[in-house]
Copies of this chain bind each other. A is one copy, B any other.
Amino acid sequence: MIRHHPDRDQIQLENVLTALGNPMRLAVVRALAAGGELPCGTVLSKEISKSTLTHHWRVLRDSGVIWQRPSGRENLLSLRRDDLNIRFPGLLDAVLNGVQAAPESVNQYAAF
């Protein structure tokens, strides 16, 4: 596992909120919300540069929102849903519902 994943009880609310406060990162969280792992190259639009992606993976990982696991030549991403739900009950669902209600700013970064 890549370093800099905080333990569950080290996840800080302000870091999670900052990580989620960006439409590109909200698009990642929405894509991962179905569960399981996704290769990092498949989560967002192909038009986003690798350096931009790397930045956003880091913010999401360091804040405790996602797991990032090396697999061959790429990384697999998954949402730390259980950890977030235990640490901040209701937060992730409220955010995902908010994205669903007004998806415009997020959709522009989606892989589909």
| Chain A interface residues (CB < 8 Å from chain B) | 12-23, 26, 87-91, 93-95, 97-99, 101-102, 105
The listed residue (B12, B90, B105) touching A94 by CB distance below 8 A is B90
- Given A17-B17, A17-B21, A18-B18, answer yes or no on A12-B102 (Cβ-Cβ < 8 Å): yes
> How far in angstroms is the closest Cβ of chain B from A96?
10
The listed residue (B16, B18, B91, B98) touching A13 by CB distance below 8 A is B98
> How far in angstroms is the closest Cβ of chain B from A110?
15
The listed residue (B18, B23, B98, B102) touching A21 by CB distance below 8 A is B18
A94 and B89: CB pair below 8 A? yes
> How far in angstroms is the closest Cβ of chain B from A90?
4
Q: Complex Cα distance A57/B96, Å?
A: 27
> How far in angstroms is the closest Cβ of chain B from A105?
6
